[in-house]
Amino acid sequence: MWRRRRSLRRLADELAEARAEQADLRRRVTAFEMIAAAAALPDLAAPVPPALAAAARELRASEVSVRLDVAGAEVVAVVAGAGDPSQWWAAICRLAVPEAS
């Protein structure tokens, strides 16, 4: 019986730690989005979210997760390297909001 309680306590501790890590990640993403919004390029042809434009601006050795709002749904895009954010945005929208058949 005491093993079960110890296991449950360990699981509860791991759950609390995961929730704290998730909250920290959300704070970091929010900070990144605020920085990206402030540094967004104003002359993009398509209305690209600032976070996506900032992720495309530099060559990166690793992938970057970008949280986006697409037609009211939260989507996480993973991008790497430099690219055309307007093309990325168009592709993300096509994938996230498929046309009604």
Instruction: Write out pLDDT tens, residues 38-56.
Output: 665 444 445 888 888 877 7
What is the distance between the alpha carbons of residues 57 and 43, in angstroms, rounded to a whole number?
13
Q: Which of 5-14, 34-43, 51-60 has the lowest mean pLDDT?
A: 34-43
**For the whole model, what pTM was predicted?**
0.48
Q: Is the pLDDT of residue 22 over 60?
A: yes
Q: In the chain, where are the structural domains located?
A: 2-96
What is the distance between the alpha carbons of residues 49 and 33, in angstroms, rounded to a whole number?
9
Residues 53 and 93: beta-carbon distance below 8 Å: no
Instruction: Write out pLDDT tens, residues 82-99.
Output: 677 888 888 888 887 766
Q: Is the pLDDT of residue 19 over 90?
A: yes
Q: Is the pLDDT of residue 61 over 80?
A: no
